[in-house]
Amino acid sequence: MTNFHDTWRLGDLTVNRLGLGAMRLTGMPWDERPKSREDAITVLRRAIELGVNHIDTASFYFTPKRSANELIATALQPYPEDLVITTKVGAGRSRDGEFSFARPDQLRGQVEENIRQLGLDHLDVVNLRWGAAMGKELGSVADHFGALAELREAGLIRHLGISNVVADQLTEALSIAPVVCVQNRYGLTDREDDALLDLCGELGVAFVPFFAVTTSIPGTAAPGAVRGEAEVAKVAAAHDATSAQIRLAWTLHRGAHVLAIPGTGDPGHLAENVAAGGLRLSEEELALLDGVGRG
């Protein structure tokens, strides 16, 4: 069974399977008021105290008053030796919040921006974020991933990952350079990537879901994502847990190679997320939840 203290290796880097996503540290576009900077710094420092050693971030995680990378650098430098910071490039945002997608020759600038903001001399893991803002796009990733492979050879990046992709794009990336992780949207009722998750397990590649608790993200839940709340609530009651905790626990039960990166800017929610990593779901409970997800 899964436990928060289980680990997985991203290349030569060992991480606990329950990490922290940094996107919510800055606040989300639909938040009524800016998130507290003090709370964000508290969350980051408390996460380290609780054993989190994998943080997912990006230079395009920002609001007019907050930057996730700046918060991480302020809160955690000098960085713990075992901390792994994963970043994303490919996507970018203008100051007014509009998303754009980089050409291969623009990726070096994005990598260097993350390095500068985080106060590092290289990046541990960089994911190529592919496709549209929310949906996937088919097509070759070779030019973009190849550009990142060159930056890896140059020493700016230690390991490479890929995000928002289909199986053929993962296979293509693997033909260019080692891939240590795939980061796609996935959750209990967002099961489009079941086969890709299994493929990653066969290949020894970490599968890292984002938006695993889809019902809490306005506008991002897949069709039917609120389905099964009664079943989730039943399992939650048996464990004296929240529905979000059960969804996270179910995610970790999907395989030893599955990592979780729930995001929060609230210290209380952080503690709940970490506690979810220690939940043990029975075979009967897993069967009940799997039935919801595949319904």
CA 83 centroid distance within chain:
15
d(C-alpha 108, C-alpha 209), whole Å: 25
Kindly name the residue from 4, 8, 60, 61 that is annotated as catalytic: 61
CA neighbours closer than 13 Å in the CB half-sphere of residue 46: 17
H or E element that contains 71: helix 68-76
**CB-based burial of residue 88 (10 Å sphere; 0-12 exposed, 13-18 middle, 19+ buried)?**
buried
For residue 134, the SS3 value is coil
**C-beta of residue 277 within 8 angstroms of C-beta of residue 4:** yes
Burial label, 72 (beta-carbon count in 10 A; 0-12, 13-18, 19+) = buried
Whether 61 is catalytic: yes
Residue 116 tokens, joined: 């500068």
CA-based nearest residue to 220, from 132, 89, 128, 88: 132
C-alpha angle 194/195/199, rounded to 5°? 120
Q: Give the Cα separation of 81 and 74 in Å (integer).
A: 16
Beta strands (DSSP E) in the chain are 7-10, 13-16, 20-21, 54-56, 62-63, 66-67, 84-89, 91-93, 99-101, 123-129, 157-163, 181-183, 206-207
* The pair of three-digit structure tokens given for residue 217, joined into one six-digit string: 């993200």
- Rounded CA separation 211/225 (Å): 11
List residues with catalytic annotation: 61
